[in-house]
Structures are given as C-alpha cells and as structure tokens.
Amino acid sequence: MVVVMSPKATDEDVARVVDMVEDAGGEAFVSRGKHRTIIGLVGDTERFVALPLPGLPGVDELIRVGKPFKLVATESRPEPSEIPVGGTLISRRAVCVIAGPCAIETEEQALAAARTAKAAGAHILRGDAYKHRTSPYAFQGLAKRGLEILAEMRAETGLPVVTEVLHTTDVELVASYADILRIGARNMQNFQLLREVGKLHKPVMLKRGLSATIEEWLMAAEYIAQQGNQEIVLCERGIRTYEPMTRNTLDLSAVPLVHRLSHLPVIVDPSHASGRRELVAPLARAAVAVGADGIMVDIHPHPETALCDGPQALRSEEVGPLIADIAAVAQALGKPLAGHSHGLSAVGG
Amino acid sequence: MVVVMSPKATDEDVARVVDMVEDAGGEAFVSRGKHRTIIGLVGDTERFVALPLPGLPGVDELIRVGKPFKLVATESRPEPSEIPVGGTLISRRAVCVIAGPCAIETEEQALAAARTAKAAGAHILRGDAYKHRTSPYAFQGLAKRGLEILAEMRAETGLPVVTEVLHTTDVELVASYADILRIGARNMQNFQLLREVGKLHKPVMLKRGLSATIEEWLMAAEYIAQQGNQEIVLCERGIRTYEPMTRNTLDLSAVPLVHRLSHLPVIVDPSHASGRRELVAPLARAAVAVGADGIMVDIHPHPETALCDGPQALRSEEVGPLIADIAAVAQALGKPLAGHSHGLSAVGG
Amino acid sequence: MVVVMSPKATDEDVARVVDMVEDAGGEAFVSRGKHRTIIGLVGDTERFVALPLPGLPGVDELIRVGKPFKLVATESRPEPSEIPVGGTLISRRAVCVIAGPCAIETEEQALAAARTAKAAGAHILRGDAYKHRTSPYAFQGLAKRGLEILAEMRAETGLPVVTEVLHTTDVELVASYADILRIGARNMQNFQLLREVGKLHKPVMLKRGLSATIEEWLMAAEYIAQQGNQEIVLCERGIRTYEPMTRNTLDLSAVPLVHRLSHLPVIVDPSHASGRRELVAPLARAAVAVGADGIMVDIHPHPETALCDGPQALRSEEVGPLIADIAAVAQALGKPLAGHSHGLSAVGG
Amino acid sequence: MVVVMSPKATDEDVARVVDMVEDAGGEAFVSRGKHRTIIGLVGDTERFVALPLPGLPGVDELIRVGKPFKLVATESRPEPSEIPVGGTLISRRAVCVIAGPCAIETEEQALAAARTAKAAGAHILRGDAYKHRTSPYAFQGLAKRGLEILAEMRAETGLPVVTEVLHTTDVELVASYADILRIGARNMQNFQLLREVGKLHKPVMLKRGLSATIEEWLMAAEYIAQQGNQEIVLCERGIRTYEPMTRNTLDLSAVPLVHRLSHLPVIVDPSHASGRRELVAPLARAAVAVGADGIMVDIHPHPETALCDGPQALRSEEVGPLIADIAAVAQALGKPLAGHSHGLSAVGG
C-alpha cells in the first residue's frame, strides 16, 4: 500500500501516518519529493486497509498495490483448479461444451434440446427452472416442475446438468437436482446467495455481473470460496456498453486475464452476451481461440416459439456444425475438446 | 407494437404474421414499402409480446411502442403519489432531507450523527445495520444490534428512519424497526426481495442499479407495486461509466424523466454517487435544482475513522450549511423544504 | 511516481530501477514488503515518464502520482482565470448565459433567435455556420454565408458571438467573425486544430469529448494553452453511457472537479447533453446550482422545422422563464448572473 | 420509417402527418390502436428524415427502420469488396497479417521490426511517422523523416506499408509514401479528413472510434465512399468501457456484424485494444476465429525502451509463434492466411 500525501502536507501530517502504521505493526518508508511525499507501507495490507488513513490531514490518496482476492488468486494454488461435473472435468486442459434450452418450457421442448445437445457432443446440459426477468409480466419459469424435467434430461442422456438458482430459499432444492448450480449475472453480488452456495459440496458456476469489473467478479468468487467451496467455474457473458446492436459486449480479454489472476477455470456464454443467434457460432469460436475452458450455448427445437430469449437460441441443425468448428479450433491450438463422462455419479443422494 | 419485415420477406411471411396477430385477437395493418414492409399491431401489447413473432421467417425486428410498466406509470394515476414516512411526506410538493451515518458502527457514532442531522433540520434519518460489501473481508454491519441503535436514534430525535434490507430473511425484522425500508443498488433486480417488500404495508425506497436503465428501474418498482405496495420512493445514486474521478456518474436527467414517466417521487443520493465529500454539497444543490423530491446524505462525526465510505461522509459542521443552501435553492424555485413531522406513529406495533 | 515491483522481482531487478532513476537525476526510495517491494521516485516526473521503466524485468506497474497537466492546473495560477468575451466576463464570480440557434439556417431564423436571446437577457449569442454531422447526407451548415448572418446577429443585438470552428483551414476566417471560437466534442482531440486556435489572441471554448475523461479534457486544454492562448472556457456537454433515454448523460460532477483541478471557467450545455427540450430547463438550473460559470442553450423560433437538433431547441417563449429561474438559483447561492456588456470591441480588426 | 403518435394525438394531428408525407411523395399507412396510433411511411426515407415530423403536434417518436448508410451497405454490392494493397488482397477469403512498430522512432528500430515482421510472414508493414498523443508533452513522431524510414522498410522487405495520416495538410505527403493510409480512432469523425482521403485513389484503413457505435463507424466510411473512394478497410480496436484492466474492451461481435451490414473487409488490432502484450496473442487468435479478415499488431525490438505504447508491443521472438497460431486457427476454419505479394507496385508514382 502507498500513501500519497498532499503537496501541502506538513511534517506532522507525515509523522502521524508513520505512527499509525507502526502502531499497527507495519513499517512506513517515507519518500520526500519536490512536490509531494509518498509513504510506502510494508506489512499486513488487510490491517492497513482498516486504518483510518484516508481521512487523516494531509493524506491525498491511498493506492492499493496487489489484488484484494486471496483464496481464488493464482498465488494461493500451485496448479489450476479442475472442477469435476458428473464425469466431466472443467479445466484448462480441455474445452467443455454446455448446451441446452435457456428456459425449460415443456417436457417435450427440453428433452428435444437435450437430445440434440447429446447427439452433437455436448458434455453438460443446461436448462433453467427459475428465470430472472426484467418484467414481472414475463414467463418466470416452471419452478419445481422444471427441475423434474431437468432430471429427465439427465436420466435420458446420462449427461450432468447445470441450472440457475435464483433465491436462497431454493438452494437446497436446486442442489438436489443439479450437478452444478449457476449464479446469474444479476445475482453476482447477491452475497447472501453466494454464501449459501459456498456452503454446498457441489460445483458452482458464477456469471460475471452486467457491469462488474473483473476484480469485483473475483471478489464475488471469494465470497463463495470463503465458505469452503472452491469448486467454482467463472462464466463471462458480456458487459453493458453503449453499443446497441448486441445485448451486451462480450469481453473476451477477461478469459486470459482470469487465467493470470486466478486458478479457477473460465467459460464463455456467447448466447446471452450477444442476444443474436447469428453471432453465437463466431463468438463461440473466438472464445475457444482466446483460451476459454468451455462454452455454454442455448438450443431450442423451435426458437420461434420460445418463451424466453428465442432470438439467441441455436436451431437443432446448427449445434453439430458449431461444435465441429470449435473442436477444429481447439485442436489447432493444442487444447482439445474435453472427454466424455462414463456414467454419472448420483445426485442428491 | 410494430413488426419490421426483412427486405426479403415473402407475401406468405407477411400473411403468417397477420394471421398470428388476428388469432390473438389483435389487428394488423400492413404498410408495404419499396424496400420493406412494416406491420402495425393494434390490440393488447402484452399478448403480442408473448407471441413467437421474433423467430418467424421474414421478421427482422419487433419494435415496442410505449412503455412496459403499468402500475407505476403516470397514466395509471391522475395525481403524483405522496408517501408518508413518519410524520413527513415525500412528494413533489416539497424537498425532503434524509441524513445520517452510512453504516451504524457504534451507539455513540450513530447517535452523534443523528443529533447533527436533527439539529440541521433533516426530516428522516438514515443508518444501516446490514452492509453490502464488495469484499468478504470488509465490515458487514452490526445486524440486529445495529437495528437496536437505529431505534435509539429514532427515539431520541423523534425522526423516522430508513435502513437497508439486504436479505429476504431479514425483511420482517428490518420492517419492525424501519419507517421506510431501502433496497440497495446491487439488489435492484433481486426480484425475490422486491416481491417480499411488495407484500409489506410500509414504504420502500428503491435505489437505481449501478448499470440499470431508467426503464429497468421502473420495471423493478413495478415488481413491488404488483404485490400491492405502491408506497415507493425512487432514489438516483449514479451509474457506472468510464470516468474514474468519481465512484459513479450522477445522472440528474433521471429526475425529470421519472417525473414524466411515473407518479412516484424520486430523491437523489449524492454521497454514494460521487464517493467524495467535496462533491456532496454541489451535487445536492443540483439535485434540488433539477427538481428532486429529496436528497439523502451520509454524515459521520469522525469520517476519518469510518468503517465504511468515510471519504464521502459529511463532517458534522458541513451539514447545516448544506441544508441552508438547498433550502435557498428550493425556495428560489418555488418548491420549499418539506415540513416537519409532529410526533411519530408507532413502528413495529 | 511509484514503481511497484513484482512479487518475484530479484534484488538485481530493484537495483536496476534505482540505478536508472539516479542516472536520470532522481532519487529512489525502496520499501521492501513481505510480498513485494515498492520504489518511490523523487525528482522530475516528466523525465521518469520517459524512462523505459515499464518494460524492465521485475517491474509490475508504474503509478503516476499527481496530474499530467500543468499550464491549466490550479497550481499554475493563484487566481481563477476570467475570460473577457466582448464586454462580458466568463468567470467564477457570475453566471453567463449563451443562447441562440444551434445551426444558422436562414437570416430570418437566426435573427429571430438572436432577438429572443437578447430580450431574455442572454450575454452571448451562439450560432453555427459549420456543422459536424454523423451522416454525409445531413445538413452541413451555410459556411461563409452563415458567418455573415452571425455578423448581422452581432450587429443587431450588440452581443458577442460564439461559433464552432470545424477545420484548421477555417480558423482564420471563423476567427474574423467570432468573439469566441468553439471546438466541438468530436474535435476535442483534433490536436492540429487545438494547436491552431492556441496561436490566436481570442478566447476558445473547448467542449468535452463524448467519451473523454476529465483528465483527457484538461490535457486537450493544455494543448491550446501550450501555444500561448490561455483564454479557454471549458464546456461540459454530456458523456456517452448505456442509458438510451437521453442522447448523453450530463456529468455535473465535472463542474466542481474542474474548479478544483484547474483555474479555467467551465460552463454547461444542457441542450446537446440531453437532446430533449423538456430536460433543458431543469438541467440548466442544476448546472447553475452545481456551480457552473455559465450555460449554453439552443433556441429556435420554429423547432419543428429545424434542419438540425430541433427536438432539443427551446421555443422562443421558453427562454425568458428559463433565464429567470437560473437567475433565482444563482441569486440564492450568492453568485449572480453576469452583468451586461456596454458596447462591443471590434472583431477581426 | 414509423411515426408513433402520442396517446393524446387528435385526428387532426394524424391527418397533418399524412398530408406532409403525401406532399413529399410518400404513402402513409395509419394503424389506430387502443392506446395510440402508429403511421407507417412508405417511400424515400431520406426525404422523410428531412421533414419536420418530430416537432409536429401529437408526434411522440420517429422510428427509423433500416440503416442510414448506402454505399458501404451490403445491399449496394453483390460481392464483398476486396482491397488490393501492394500485391496483397485484404478480403474475406483469407487472413492478412499487418505488423511493425507502433511509432517509427529510429531507422534501426524500424528496420529491425520490419525484418522481424517479414521473417515471420507478415503481409503488410505498419509504422507511424505522426502520433496522436493525449499529452502535448509526449513524443509526437518523426514526421517527414519517419516517412522516409517507412520507405526504407518497404524497400528492404518488399512489403507494402500502412501509416497514419493525422492532418488534412499531410494527406498528399503521406499518400506519396503509403500503400494504404490509416485514419485513427480519434479521427474517425474528423469529416474533413475523411473527405480528403475519399478523394484519393488509394486504400484507406478506418479505425473505429473509441466510443463509436457500429452504425456511426459505417457512416464515417460512407463519408469516404461518397467522395469516390471505396477501397476501405475497417479496423476494430476496442471501445471505451468501465473495465480498468485493459485499455479498451475489444468488441469482436463487430466483425460478424460488419460482415452482415457491409461489403467492406474488417480487421482487428489487439495491440491497441488491450494495451497489454500478454493479451495480444490470445485476442489475435480470437479475432481470426470470429472471422476477421486480418489482424494488425505492434512489434518492437526493445519494447522496454519504446517511446510510445511499449507495454503492448510484441517482442521479436513472439511474432513467429503468434502468426503460426493464427495460421492454424485460420486453416482449421477454412479461411487460410493470405498469400504473399510478388513485387510491389510503384508508390507515389
């Protein structure tokens, strides 16, 4: 941590900072410049952050050096994390494909999408029973009935499933059905929910908030990790910008940055980022090329009748070519598609 | 609603849209242009939104005309809403001042801030027992003990109190202490929480989300109103932009826009918007000049020792002059400061 | 300046930085922390910036302390600048009103707007002969004929005039007609143009770029000042954000920030910021309340036939009440409207 | 175009719109809804845009259907444009690599970078003699001497060169040295400069502005095309967002969107987008995977001593592996690297 003093700070102002730091068990190194003095603090940053330094007379600015996250930081683990989901691993060694309906609307629609995903080579199925909608008048999901259909998708295909948990009160129920729970973008800073899933012994996928910085995203993961659950998969899904042609702007730089800053794997959701079917395949290819550990895409057997996000869902016949394309890119870059699970472990047992 | 057909749409494509709209009880007016055809839909917009129009062949775009919110819309009420909080009214007829500590840290700190606020002429006290913090390692609030101190602030000053409710599980408890509950910016789209406070018979202050559009903010209010609670006060607190010199960019245009679009009152929080003490007074004056129905500011007896957001808290001696200034602006524009309550109604009784 | 070393930096890496700084005539103070070492540099920051420090082994980050602008910085002048325009002063002691047509379309339209502005009490007239349009198919201005009409506006009202200069090749011509030249938002970083107006002995108004930080804006002013012309008036006109209800988001925090960082005066343009007539008056009042040294508004005798930005132009009958309102706010805050000029100095003489 | 009438519009208001449209040679189709009437306009959109419709009584909103650009639009050309630069083609059929120093600093530095680029397989060299710098105190380029060194780079390698033209006064000089001129992001809406390069018989690369929408970017290209020069290559280089870890946020969705909207080729500059060396290779791979027609990267023989943008320049030994990687991705997706030129055409002759 560095304390930048104001040009008008007096010797007493400087001494006051030094005393406070030393009282807290730290060391303070003073550099007196022509225009201003800066003080380098050496010791326990967390203790320094708690000190009332910002309001002291003569103090202009505090600059934090280093990053505030700990458990999810690269430094805390020698090797990248590998997260087992059913029989598949989400890891930096291979590219994982997650596919399925955005919302589970009917048994028929959901199973059709699940079969398409399986046939095309997906590793994990998605399908939501609880939907987060901007309007209270929009379709909000089938709730428990949706989870039952999810279980059918799982049983029929043998693939593990990911589904969103919206509310703290649903965590237990959703966890009894899901192989991996998803925290949506709008809930990225719902810290109560993060703490609840942090208590589970089950993987969690954490989507980046609509206007979250990468640092805030990793701090949200830290909330989960702090409760004891470090089986976290990050998911980049676009950030809010001024550009109106896409729903959000996919920030692919986040992938290599997360790989440097954290040991967690990171996947990309091009469907929700763009909101446009025709952009899903090119962005999925780009995600794999930038180094993502997986992609997640929406599929709908009849997108034109979808109750939620139809314009972004891939048609059944588009899924196979997309996976073939990303397999080719993955292969070219020496990080192949993930292998497939051989049998599911029991869920909710 | 307007359906814009693709330049390549066939007569059949157009007929399919017309049929679907008529089947849903609406009328469809077709305008054939040189380059493309557009179809105007007349009838119940909500039914049209639910139709699978976006995915139909030949359909390029759906343009919604009008606004999606209903209960909170200007059209639904002949007169602007006036929200009683303790003995004060939050309304478009007068400017209300809310002041107090950001977080309740100790009894002494909170009561000192409450006395300062009362002496300077504030109408409502603020003070939080539950804090939403980006880092799990930061101070998270005193919880129940904080609410007890809040009750002391109320008892000693006779002023009503506003405090944040973070979690659905705390709604009942917080409501038993607060005269008005606050939903924070990060929870603006925590729809479960919105529904819970929508069931209360108690006013709710709804802060604008960090990256929420004005329309999304009003839709969040709609979630509350839909449960039966229309005693809602909106609070603008800045939006996330690229400018690094302030924590957020205060969007004062939101005030007159909300006044046009909705019957709800809207106040402004310059403390959290800017994150800088020296900007609070000028932005508070601007908020009143733009037509805000109130302001909310942080006070701390010793900002340099604050456990949360110290750099933005006003010092005790700054509160009186700020209120004098906004009273002068309010007076000059013919919308005076609000009157004061004469005795509190019982809370939690 | 502070050099933050990587956690893996060696003693040699640190020594290399120290040597380079000392060779450049500076001093380097080393603070060795448990996790990393930071080095405080004391001496001439400009020289340090030019050093190849960022690429040296073991160097993680360079943190600049202090601001990069000089001539326009508060520190460079004991008193705030006051800029004479015709017989009016733009300064922090009074509020100046600039009004007139966005574009000069016809002699009749421009003179009508000028008379309205004069009658309502404006101090300076605006009117553009050259327009910056996103589309090459839109009205681009009357060019020289527009400047001649501007001269008529000036002659008839006796008020000084501000007009935009778009191209370097027009600087001389525009300067022979204008009392103060304006650099538009899209040209804020057209450094060739900034240098050209920097060579004039005539005031310049510099609008903030659409996505410029406050620091970049002041650096653009520095380009002008560096050529010898320090008669600069800054103009905040909104920044680009994700909110679609206004053309841009007016950033009123910029006004008190500029007042702290620089000695230059700063005015606000609510017409171009919002793009909506009904927001102009409330935002103009807010601008004065936040401390702006003036406002600039568009007027059109028949906004419904305007060739450019009609939806934001005030109608004739709206100008008087707006100026009365801001006069009341200005009065209430102890900074009155500016006085009026008594006769113009010759232009272009 | 669609005219949305206010809920309070009268029959007369509607009739007035219809008359005005018919007088302008168009047709107006009226759809009367329960809440409001909408009017579909059929005919010449450009004429409708010029009508004073937005200010008419009862008119709420005008919604433009379709896109405002023409010459650069997909509809105006049956086949995608292919732009010859030296002996190379920039086209949708192959991936072109542009590499070289950001700024030309010395003959030695520039030639070293040119040789590295050539050896690694680049098709076109970059190198700037004129630099656009936020600070007037930063290195501004070698000007004419820089162009002479550029000519040496070209002569020694036999590769064509791209260089930025900053000012209208330099267009002729720069064009006499460059095979393709570049318009920088800050100049994207310098319409005078766009018009000047539009008069040349030489390709132009147009970078997207820092906060330009895709539509504004294509409208800027339209300015060039309208002057007769349609040899335009678009270049995506990141947009300004709130995320501080990268200089800008690379918007790769822009690539497939441009391919749908326009016949022009589009390349990607990951060096300036990210500002960080370690992100250049992953983003370059992603650019190729998303379908870009080329990439442009900065190289510096000694990035740690660079006078401009050193932290983003690739080291010499990083260039070959990057090009090998993108060749593999390109190959995997069936769009190979571009072929190489066999001899340069004369420049400036």
Query: In angstroms, what separates the C-alpha of B167 from chain A's closest C-alpha?
Result: 7
Residue B345 domain-assigned (yes or no):
no
Of B1-10, B125-134, C33-42, D210-219, the poorest mean pLDDT is in: C33-42
Task: Select from A250, A288, A325 the Cβ nearest to the Cβ of D253.
Answer: A250
- Average pLDDT in the B176-183 region? 98
Q: How far is CA C130 from the centre of its chain?
A: 18
Whether residue D123 sits in one domain with residue D25: no
Do D240 and C211 make contact, defined as CB atoms within 8 angstroms? yes
Can you tell me the distance from the alpha carbon of A300 to that of B106, in angstroms, rounded to the nearest whole number? 55
Do D256 and A282 make contact, defined as CB atoms within 8 angstroms? yes
Can you tell me the distance from the alpha carbon of D206 to that of B38, in angstroms, rounded to the nearest whole number? 34
Residues C80, C74: contact at Cβ < 8 Å?
no
Q: How confident is the model at residue B348 (pLDDT cuts 50, 70, 90)?
A: very low
| DSSP codes of every residue in C314-330 | BPHHHHHHHHHHHHHHH
Q: Where are the alpha helices (DSSP H) in chain C?
A: 11-23, 45-50, 107-120, 144-157, 171-177, 191-198, 214-226, 254-261, 270-274, 277-290, 316-332
CATH number of residue A13's parent domain: 3.30.70.1140
Q: Where are the alpha helices (DSSP H) in chain D?
A: 11-23, 45-50, 107-120, 144-157, 171-177, 191-198, 214-226, 254-261, 270-274, 277-290, 316-332
Do B134 and A216 make contact, defined as CB atoms within 8 angstroms? yes
Residue A309 domain-assigned (yes or no):
yes
Of A60-64, A159-163, B233-237, the poorest mean pLDDT is in: A60-64
- Closest by Cα among B312, B253, B256, B304 to B280: B312
Residue A162 domain-assigned (yes or no):
yes
Residues B188, B168: contact at Cβ < 8 Å?
no
- Average pLDDT in the B24-51 region? 80
Residues B347, B177: contact at Cβ < 8 Å?
yes
- Average pLDDT in the B148-176 region? 96
Of the residues C42, C63, C84, the one at which a domain ends? C63
Whether residue D6 sits in one domain with residue D96: no
Q: How far is CA A305 from the centre of its chain?
A: 29
Of the residues D10, D43, D63, the one at which a domain ends? D63
Longest dimension (CA), chain C: 76
Of A134-148, A216-230, B168-182, C270-284, the poorest mean pLDDT is in: A134-148
Question: What does the angle CA A81 – CA A83 – CA A84 come to, to the nearest 5 degrees?
Answer: 145
DSSP A228: T
- Closest by Cα among B103, B97, B148 to B124: B97
Q: How confident is the model at residue D349 (pLDDT cuts 50, 70, 90)?
A: very low
Whether residue D37 sits in one domain with residue D175: no
- Closest by Cα among B192, B226, B186 to B206: B186
Contacts of B67 in chain D (CB under 8 A): none
Q: What is the mean pLDDT of each run of 10 residues along chain C (349 residues)?
A: 85 91 86 79 77 82 81 91 94 97 96 97 97 84 96 97 95 97 96 95 97 96 95 98 96 97 98 94 98 97 80 92 96 92 49
| DSSP codes of every residue in C220-276 | HHHHHHHTT---EEEEE--B--S--SSSSB--TTHHHHHHHHBSS-EEE-HHHHH--
Query: What's the pLDDT at C349?
Result: 34
Residue C239 domain-assigned (yes or no):
yes
- How far the first Cα of chain D sits from its last, in Å, is 48
Q: Is C345 on the interface with A (CB under 8 A)?
A: no
Interface pTM, i.e. ipTM: 0.91
Question: What is the number of residues in chain C?
Answer: 349
**pLDDT(A267) > 90:** yes
Question: What does the angle CA C264 – CA C268 – CA C270 come to, to the nearest 5 degrees?
Answer: 170
Do B249 and C253 make contact, defined as CB atoms within 8 angstroms? yes
pTM above 0.90, yes or no: yes
Q: Is A290 on the interface with D (CB under 8 A)?
A: yes
| DSSP codes of every residue in A71-117 | TTBGGG-SS---EEETTEEEBTTBBEEEEE-SB---HHHHHHHHHHH
Cβ-based neighbour number of residue D155 at 10 Å = 11
- H/E stretch holding A154 reads helix A144-157
Can you tell me the distance from the alpha carbon of B10 to that of C197, in angstroms, rounded to the nearest whole number? 57
Q: How confident is the model at residue D191 (pLDDT cuts 50, 70, 90)?
A: very high
CATH number of residue B265's parent domain: 3.20.20.70
Residues C322, B329: contact at Cβ < 8 Å?
no
Query: What's the pLDDT at A348?
Result: 41
Can you tell me the distance from the alpha carbon of D320 to that of D328, in angstroms, rounded to the nearest whole number? 12
Q: How confident is the model at residue B305 (pLDDT cuts 50, 70, 90)?
A: confident
Q: Which chains touch C (3 or more CB pairs under 8 A)?
A: A, B, D
What confidence tens digit (pLDDT) does each residue in B86-108 have? 989 999 999 999 999 999 999 99
What confidence tens digit (pLDDT) does each residue in D139-153 have? 889 999 999 999 999
Query: In angstroms, what separates the C-alpha of B138 from chain A's closest C-alpha?
Result: 8
Cβ-based neighbour number of residue A325 at 10 Å = 19
Residue D338 domain-assigned (yes or no):
no
Of A30-34, A323-327, B153-157, the poorest mean pLDDT is in: A30-34
What confidence tens digit (pLDDT) does each residue in D93-148 have? 999 999 999 999 999 999 999 999 999 999 999 999 998 888 888 888 999 999 99
Q: Which residue has the tokens 């007349």?
A: B42
Query: What's the pLDDT at A292?
Result: 98
Q: Which chains touch B (3 or more CB pairs under 8 A)?
A: A, C, D
Whether residue D148 sits in one domain with residue D55: no
Who wins on pLDDT, C280 or B339? C280
Can you tell me the distance from the alpha carbon of B5 to that of B34, in angstroms, rounded to the nearest whole number? 12
Contacts of A290 in chain D (CB under 8 A): 282-283, 285-286, 289
Query: In angstroms, what separates the C-alpha of D202 from chain C's closest C-alpha?
Result: 21
Q: What is the CA radius of gyration of chain B?
A: 23
- H/E stretch holding B216 reads helix B214-226
Q: How confident is the model at residue D290 (pLDDT cuts 50, 70, 90)?
A: very high
- Which chain D residue has the Cα nearest residue B6? D66
**pLDDT(B273) > 70:** yes
Contacts of A306 in chain B (CB under 8 A): 52, 55
Can you tell me the distance from the alpha carbon of B90 to that of B83, in angstroms, rounded to the nearest whole number? 5
Who wins on pLDDT, D314 or D6? D314
Whether residue D145 sits in one domain with residue D34: no
Whether residue A84 sits in one domain with residue A25: no
Residue D337 domain-assigned (yes or no):
no
Q: Is A137 on the interface with D (CB under 8 A)?
A: no
In angstroms, what CA-CA distances link B266 with B214, B288, C243, C283?
12, 11, 18, 16
Quick one: tokens of A316? 């059944």
Cβ-in-10-Å burial (0-12, 13-18, 19+) of D25 comes to exposed
Can you tell me the distance from the alpha carbon of C227 to that of D317, in angstroms, rounded to the nearest whole number? 43
Whether residue D43 sits in one domain with residue D139: no
Of B13-22, B192-201, C228-237, the poorest mean pLDDT is in: B13-22
Can you tell me the distance from the alpha carbon of B168 to that of C45, in angstroms, rounded to the nearest whole number? 52
> Cβ neighbours of residue B152 under 8 Å, at least 6 residues apart?
B107, B110, B111
Q: How confident is the model at residue A341 (pLDDT cuts 50, 70, 90)?
A: low
Whether residue B84 sits in one domain with residue B49: no
What confidence tens digit (pLDDT) does each residue in A127-162 have? 999 988 888 888 889 999 999 999 999 999 999 999
Whether residue C185 sits in one domain with residue C88: yes
C-alpha torsion sign, points C35, C40, C46, C47: negative
Q: How far is CA C84 from the centre of its chain?
A: 16
Query: What's the pLDDT at B341?
Result: 58
- Average pLDDT in the B173-202 region? 96
**pLDDT(D155) > 60:** yes
Do A222 and B135 make contact, defined as CB atoms within 8 angstroms? yes
DSSP B344: P
Please state the domain count of chain A: 2
What confidence tens digit (pLDDT) does each residue in A68-93 have? 888 999 988 879 999 999 989 999 99
Quick one: tokens of A125? 């199925």
Whether residue B28 sits in one domain with residue B133: no
> B209 by DSSP, 3-state: which?
coil
Domain of C228?
A: 74-332
DSSP D73: B
Helix then strand count (H, E) for chain A reads 11, 14
Do A285 and D333 make contact, defined as CB atoms within 8 angstroms? yes
- Closest by Cα among A274, A273, A254 to A264: A254
Query: What's the pLDDT at C348?
Result: 41
Residues C126, C161: contact at Cβ < 8 Å?
yes
Whether residue D55 sits in one domain with residue D81: no
Q: Is B91 on the interface with A (CB under 8 A)?
A: no
> A91 by DSSP, 3-state: which?
strand
Residues C221, C250: contact at Cβ < 8 Å?
no
Q: How far is CA A65 from the centre of its chain?
A: 24
Whether residue D21 sits in one domain with residue D99: no
Residue B348 domain-assigned (yes or no):
no
Best interface-test mutation with C: which of A27, A37, A42 has the largest number of C CBs within 10 A? A42
Query: What's the pLDDT at D341?
Result: 58
Query: What's the pLDDT at C307?
Result: 79
Can you tell me the distance from the alpha carbon of C95 to that of C91, in angstroms, rounded to the nearest whole number? 8
Residue B255 domain-assigned (yes or no):
yes
Task: Select from D133, D219, D306 the Cβ nearest to the Cβ of C134.
Answer: D219
| DSSP codes of every residue in D263-324 | SS-EEE-HHHHH--HHHHHHHHHHHHHHT-SEEEEEB-SSGGG-SS-GGGPBPHHHHHHHHH
> B158 by DSSP, 3-state: which?
coil
Restricting to B residues 188-247, those with a Cβ less than 8 Å away from any Cβ of D are 240-242, 244
